[in-house]
Structure 1
């Protein structure tokens, strides 16, 4: 049985058997503008991820938001790296002066060996140069190895603001707090430094071009009491967050109602919206988008990538896993499922899928009303 609800002209559906009571602060569903384009680590299909090169390229391709994964330095600055272990994304292993910094530690219950940002000052990290993280899949990106430093949060904000002034359209940031429980334990909490940087930029409200995302829950709940900027609950396909919350429970109708009490959107792995089997064959869409909209949450799935290796079978072109397939068509399929934004390694593909129309804006004009 399907329950239908009309909110501010939007038709929302949910499986009645799964539905929980509407939260008091029901929002109006998807934004009235076009879906937003989130440049996943920048235009990381074309430049080494989490570099100003990648973020600049993403803005050129039409991204509405640039996405930095944030980790802390020894002197409590925030920088953009996919992980706090940096041997795969920098030349740190080639630096003899840092050989003694290599170590093993537990992060979110897993043993990790390498070099960690929390063992370096910002000045030390600035002596390193970024490298392509997936050289076998993205060999062209290795041409940019060594050209970019590790960017700070402040540099990324400055880039977004400068691009906004230059292009006449609002460019936002979509930071992820990476391993927040880990950094809290080692007394380098991410959130206070992040909020201070946002405040310094004048970004403190839900109308500002910011989303803060996390795979964890407790830090988002704490942030809800400290800021009005929009928050996003990320969801993995299985397992639990580092702070002990089941992702399966989270994406149930009852779980989504709870998420809506502290977050404005969810960021599920794309297979949770349209599942695929081990051969990449797509199945029928789930009810997750409808259920999230019913709870008043936007839906921003991750991650859309152009290489055959990542694409569903029907969108691959040829047998070479490194070759580019039809990412635009794959994104369009998810847009038809009703999503409100896309994390894409290729902002150009997302922009082509969305097509021309009214200007996208990550400002409050696109935010569902409270």
Structure 2
């Protein structure tokens, strides 16, 4: 008869099985599909293209450089179970849940507190559509566009969970609700929108944890007056985000809490120091031209001031990190240089958020439009962000693209 294993050995084997097993699950599931090589094929000839072509046989693995923006929202309904799983299978090492709250103050994954009319089937559910902050109004064929406003705070958690996610978009020329909800951009698809399983923040934690991956939750700005319901203050909101990770027993080193509100980030740094060590400031100071990424004199607070407050991670849109030199080559902006000088880790957002790049790439490439003229320029931008800007991670709506680059360049 064999002797039972000592308890310490059983404990050791449990941890080996759990952590190695999760890592294996994440690694074995990586499948990048045809898009990365479609982009590489479309690149201008050069050393970078040749290097990337050499990696077409793989192997593919998870990389923390590859951050899933709302899941895999280029083709899957954002912040859904199906989108998160697709992102994980494309090698994203970190997955985002934008966290807002319901009428009963439960945290759920939505890009905006008031986007349910754009991202779910709520308008097709009369009993729930009746609870929307602003009901559907059809276009009148002239100046009035079709509109609606449906918020997570209009619904209880149970009501929210009964909804189905859809591709983000609406037809503002619509005369009827069925016409209005058919607003998917022509460079996206409804092919993977059959289920659209919505997620609570806690459910996203459980799913991402089961995949052995990391978390980058965003505390969304409230569209209702705070404190909500008389006692749910902004600080309580920020505290509740972290509380969900504590309750799930998640190692703080796996969590990168983020917010566009600097006060939220500073609250975490001061009051939740283990989680605050990786708190990320989503920099939107470009709004209203308050910040010029080419002029450090407009950075208020300065990069060094932010670092002195304990900030270690800063995340601006891609275009703020890039500029063109006198020869039209894409190079780091003054913003990127100042952030690095202050010792800040840089995360960029969001790759694959635009449609075709043949006409300059749109908003996310606005500082380097003259250098963007084909789909393969995605890879050129990634290369500058990684090698010259020194970004530690890049959000992408289609993580396979970023994973392919990271794998090829040996970025874990």
After TM superposition, the score normalised by the length of structure 1 is 0.72
Equivalent residue, structure 1, for 2:138? none
Aligned partner of 2:5 in structure 1 is none
Give distance in 2, aligned partners of 1:358 and 1:333. 15
- C-alpha separation in 2, matches of 1:183 and 1:67: 25
Distance 1:251 1:297, change over 3 A: farther
Which residues of 2 match residues 115-264 of structure 1 at below 5 A? 115-134=150-169, 135-140=184-189, 142-164=190-212, 171-180=213-222, 182=224, 184-187=226-229, 188=232, 189=234, 190-203=237-250, 205=252, 208-227=253-272, 228-229=274-275, 230-236=278-284, 238-239=286-287, 252=299, 255-260=302-307, 261-264=309-312
Higher relative contact order (CA 8 A, sep 6+): 1
Q: Which runs of 5 or more residues in structure 1 are unaligned? A: 1-33, 106-111, 165-170, 318-323, 361-370
1: CA distance, partners of 2:313 / 2:223: 21
Measured after TM superposition, the shift of residue 352 of structure 1 is: 1.6
- Give 2:344's match in structure 1, choosing from 293, 297, 320: 297
SS at match of 1:211: coil
Secondary structure of 1:64's partner?
strand
Q: 1:72 aligns with which of 95, 101, 126?
A: 101
1:72: how far off? 0.1
Q: Is residue 126 of structure 2 the alignment partner of residue 84 of structure 1?
A: no
* Aligned counterparts of 1:41 and 1:283: Cα–Cα separation in 2: 27
Q: Residue 185 of structure 1 aligns to a residue in which SS?
A: coil
For residue 65 of structure 1, give the secondary structure of its aligned residue in structure 2: strand
Identify the residue that residue 320 of structure 2 maps to in structure 1. Answer: 272
Distance 2:222 2:288 in 1: 15
| Displacement of 1:234 | 0.8
Work out the CA distance in 2 between the residues paired with 1:162 and 1:285: 37
Shift of 1:195: 1.3
Give the whole-Å Cα distance in 1 for the aligned partners of 2:163 and 2:225: 22
Corresponding residue to 1:55 among 77, 81, 84? 84
Residue 308 of structure 1 contacts residue 325 of structure 1 at CA under 8 Å; is this kept in 2? no
> Residues of 1 paired with 2:316 and 2:65: CA distance?
15
Partner residue, 2:42: none
Summarize the alignment of residues 278-293 of structure 1 with structure 2, pairs less than 5 Å apart. Answer: 284-293=331-340
Cα deviation, 1:25-51, whole Å, max 9, x if unaligned, reads xxxxxxxxx862211111111311111
Matched, 1:341 2:393: yes
Rg larger in structure = 2
* Root-mean-square deviation over aligned CA pairs: 2.9
C-alpha contact 1:48 1:132 (8 A) present in aligned 2: yes
Distance in 2 separating the partners of 1:160 and 1:285: 33
CA 160–250 in structure 1, closer or farther in 2 if over 3 Å, else same = farther
**Which one has the bigger helix percentage?**
2
User: What TM-score do the two structures reach when normalised by structure 2?
Assistant: 0.65
What is the deviation of 1:296?
Answer: 1.9
Deviations 1:234-293 (A, max 9, x none): 11262379xxxx5558973852122221322100111111148xxxx8765312222112
Contact kept? 1:220, 1:262, Cα under 8 Å: no
Whole-angstrom CA distance in 1 between matches of 2:82 and 2:329: 34
Q: For residues 279-327 of structure 1, what are the alpha-carbon distances to aligned partners after superposition, in whole Å with 9 as ceiling and x for unaligned?
A: xx8765312222112212100011111631546555544xxxxxx6553
Task: Tell me, yes or no, if the aligned pair for 1:73 and 1:79 is still in contact at 8 Å.
Answer: yes
Do the aligned partners of 1:131 and 1:144 also contact (CA within 8 Å) in 2?
A: no
| Count of residue pairs the alignment pairs up | 298
Tell me the secondary structure at the aligned position of residue 302 of structure 2: helix
| Among candidates 375, 379, 384, match of residue 328 of structure 1 | 379
